[in-house]
Amino acid sequence: MLEKDIENLIARYPDEFFPNSGLKLVGQQVKLGSCFADIIFEDKHGRTIIVEIKRGILSRDASGQIIEYYGLLKQQNPNKIIELVLCANTIPNERRVFLENVGIECKELGLTLVSNLANKYNYKFLDENEQNQSKENNIKEKAVGLTKGNHVWFFQANPNRYDILNALLDQALDNKLGWMVNQHQKEIRQGDIALIWMSGKEAGIYAVAEVISDPIILGDAPGEEKYWISEEDKGQSKLSVKIKITKKLINNPILRSKLKNLKELKNLSILRFSQGTNFTVTDYEWKVISAIL
């Protein structure tokens, strides 16, 4: 799911995102002075509504850029009433308050909402074929490999600390990511499978990866530092494993709510106790999950 996908869905079906607003599309990627607006609408009162889109978790830097952009628009269009709406998959509360205090409306568009609307209107995500090309065979092969001593784990990411959505969509990191090993240090090994789990309101499996090293002390991969939300987390070297992303599920994640409804997974470790980074998956549970994959 690219920012362009979210932009296209909002532009085509504004009533789904802004009910009863009477929005009429003016254009997408419209040049306004020295800026380009993602989407411009006119509402039922004749006001200009600019919608800006940020995929994933709204970062502190992006919040500052949006305020600067909004000020520039006001300066360049002094005789025009301009309302700015910022849409992102996840907007931390402190950044929402920060932006709304200067008059920028914030709207959180969860991945589930975007995916459901795409399915409703048969919209095909622009990155869908690219993400899933030649991935299924790898998963099937690794499922068989479990009989040879490999294991499956949940590797959990906290979206309040790390922008896992955009990190997973960064192709330059597909085989360079490291993942902290805070639990099961003596058991997690090269050749294992990692189910990448995002915690929070839309908790679930967002990717499948292969563990490609035993635990070692690692720092951030080149280009990864920008995905840390907290400054304290950046540049830290910790016991980690290298992973290679083999399948991305961002457009259709396997959500916690779905897994909870399967009696075969009633004892799934990450559902019973979600505090931690690394969680076990039994061979039987992996068979159930791999069938869903």
Give residue limits of the domains in the chain.
3-120, 130-292
The Cα–Cα gap between 197 and 185 comes to 18
β-bridge pairing 105-108 and 178-180 = unpaired
Domain 3-120 has CATH 3.40.1350.10: yes
Longest dimension (CA), the chain: 71
What residues contact 223, with CB distance under 8 A and at least 6 apart?
170, 172, 173, 176
Which class does domain 130-292 fall in? alpha beta
The Cα–Cα gap between 59 and 234 comes to 14
pLDDT value, residue 16 = 93
pLDDT value, residue 70 = 85
Q: Give the three-class secondary structure for 248.
A: strand
Q: What is the mean pLDDT of residues 169-185?
A: 90
Q: What is the mean pLDDT of residues 79-104?
A: 88
Weakest-pLDDT range from 107-121, 132-146, 199-213, 215-229: 132-146
Position with higher pLDDT, 233 vs 246: 246
The Cα–Cα gap between 278 and 131 comes to 25
- Residue from 242, 111, 223 nearest 171 by CA: 223
The token pair that represents 67 in the structure block: 């305020």
What pTM was estimated for this model as a whole?
A: 0.75
The token pair that represents 270 in the structure block: 């990450």
- pLDDT surpasses 50 at 259: yes
Share of the chain above pLDDT 70, in %: 92
Position with higher pLDDT, 35 vs 118: 118
pLDDT value, residue 134 = 44
The token pair that represents 28 in the structure block: 């997408």
**Burial 202-229, CB ≥16 within 10 A → b, else e:** bbbbbbbbbbebebeebebbeebeebbb
